[in-house]
């Protein structure tokens, strides 16, 4: 008679901070369907691009999920980061991770990202991280709201992550693409606001 193997429920995983004061710290990832943290390789590239801009910056991490981007920014010297995430489970894990790091500059908002942009008075932000669910096709609307509501500083930089197969989002007329790369099925761009 063949042996039956018990199916183990796998842990959702761990996230490693790449650099800064929390370098190599491992953080929990919430077990939320569709949650995909920005890869370590992409984060390393992105934050190499942002080196002159990070220290003392005000950051907005929309669709924060694990908080990988905002926590990496705080680790590297950002003044604060607002994490916007709708999932209660993801927010619970994000709060736990912020407490474990004693991340004083972390502000967590459990709400829909579009509602947050339409209602918030917390701007302007110097760095914005846009990483909505790949199937949502929200980047154009998010960029429009950031611009129209004056939620970004005059020289702000906006990071956009999306499915590589999708067309690049139409950007506000005063924005220009500084960097545009792909890795696997991910397109990631850094956009600069030029007034």
**Angle of the 68-75 helix axis to the 88-101 helix axis, nearest 10:** 20
**Structural domain boundaries in the chain:** 14-193
The helix, strand and coil proportions of the chain, stated in percent and rounded to the nearest 5, come to: 30, 30, 40
Q: Does domain 14-193 have CATH number 3.40.50.150?
A: yes
> Tens-digit pLDDT profile for the chain (195 aa)?
444 444 334 345 788 999 999 999 999 888 887 777 888 899 999 999 999 899 999 999 999 999 999 999 999 999 999 999 999 999 999 999 999 999 999 999 999 999 999 999 998 999 999 989 877 889 999 999 999 999 999 999 999 999 998 888 999 999 999 999 999 889 999 999 876
- Rounded to whole angstroms, how far apart are CA atoms 166 and 152? 25
Neighbour-count burial for 158-189, b at 16+ CB within 10 Å, e otherwise: bbbbbeeeeeebebeeebeeeeeeeeeebbbb
């Amino acid at each position: 008679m063949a042996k039956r193997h018990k199916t183990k429920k796998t842990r959702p995983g761990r996230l490693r901070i790449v650099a800064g004061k929390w370098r190599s710290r491992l953080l929990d990832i919430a077990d939320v369907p569709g949650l995909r943290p920005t890869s370590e390789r992409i984060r390393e590239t992105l934050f190499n691009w942002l080196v002159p801009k990070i220290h003392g910056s005000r950051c907005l991490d929309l669709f924060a999920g694990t908080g990988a981007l905002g926590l990496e920014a705080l680790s590297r010297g950002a003044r604060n980061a607002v994490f916007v995430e709708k999932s209660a489970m993801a927010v619970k894990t994000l709060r736990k991770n912020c407490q474990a790091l004693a991340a004083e500059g972390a502000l967590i908002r459990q709400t829909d990202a579009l509602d947050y942009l339409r209602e918030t008075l917390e701007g302007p932000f110097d760095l914005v991280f846009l990483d909505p669910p790949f199937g949502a096709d929200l980047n154009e609307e998010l960029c429009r709201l950031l611009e129209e509501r004056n939620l970004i500083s005059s020289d702000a930089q906006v990071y956009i992550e999306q499915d590589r197969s999708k067309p690049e989002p139409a950007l506000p007329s005063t924005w220009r693409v500084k960097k545009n790369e792909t890795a696997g099925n991910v397109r990631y761009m850094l956009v600069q606001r030029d007034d």
